[in-house]
Structure 1
Amino acid sequence: MAVIQATDSDFNNILAENEKVVVKYYADWCGNCRLFSPKFKRMADNEQFKGIVFLDVNAEVSPEARKAAGVTNLPFFAVFKNGTLVDTVAASKEEAVVNLINKLN
């Protein structure tokens, strides 16, 4: 499944319409965010994570979505189940993000 670009205008609707969602918060100036993008896309295409929606949210232009997860650093990842925040991690290591996503199962 492709990574969906989300903003404040559609963020809550996406959470409400999907049981399991993982969000990557990024900023255009963030080098580690750019470096992680191909890994995030690969995760989104991985059969292991079938049924999980992957979102990219620009933290600088989506303050409401940023507040929903309490973003502190970038890149920042959050998992939501049935619209409720489950857990977060500020990391640029793939293993940390995989461990976070596995909390949805």
Structure 2
Amino acid sequence: MKDNFSNIINSATPVLIDFYADWCGPCKMLAPILKEVKDELGDTVKIIKIDVDKNQSLASRYQVRGVPTMLLFKEGKQLWRQSGVLQKQDIISTINSYT
């Protein structure tokens, strides 16, 4: 995942990374919200879910201390970061502000 991750975040299309854990209640609440975001925005954004328990080095590299934590990248640059659950419209507004 580490090598592939660099390729993913270097995209010209905004990439929303969702750092989550299977045991995390708020993460389970965020999953359907992110699906709705993807359904609404389509190909204007990529949404990638990363399990922090299976990708500890990646979570550590981005200093993810709590889940869920979302990071937005475009062309390899981190543009935005937020921990916790956000509503669909808040996420869409954030993504749209960087497209």
Query: 1:67 and 1:100, CA in 2 relative to 1: closer, same or farther beyond 3 A?
Result: farther
Identity percentage over the alignment? 22
CA displacement, residues 33-85 of structure 1 (integer Å, 9 cap, x when unaligned): 012111101111113x6421111010111123323432121111000110111
Shift in Å, 1:100: 3.4
- Tell me how many residue pairs correspond in the alignment: 97
Q: What SS is found at the alignment partner of 1:46?
A: helix
Check whether the contact 2:71–2:82 (CA below 8 A) recurs between aligned residues: yes
Q: What SS is found at the alignment partner of 2:44?
A: coil
Q: Quick one: which of 22, 30, 43 aligns to 2:24?
A: 30
Query: 1:29 and 1:72, CA in 2 relative to 1: closer, same or farther beyond 3 A?
Result: same
Distance 2:95 2:61 in 1: 17
Runs of 4+ that moved beyond 4 A: none
Q: Does 1:8 align with 2:37?
A: no
- Where do 5+ consecutive residues of structure 1 fail to align? 1-6
CA RMSD of superposed structures (Å):
2.0
Q: Which has the higher contact order (CA 8 A, sep 6+)?
A: 2
One-letter amino acid of the counterpart of residue 86, structure 2: K
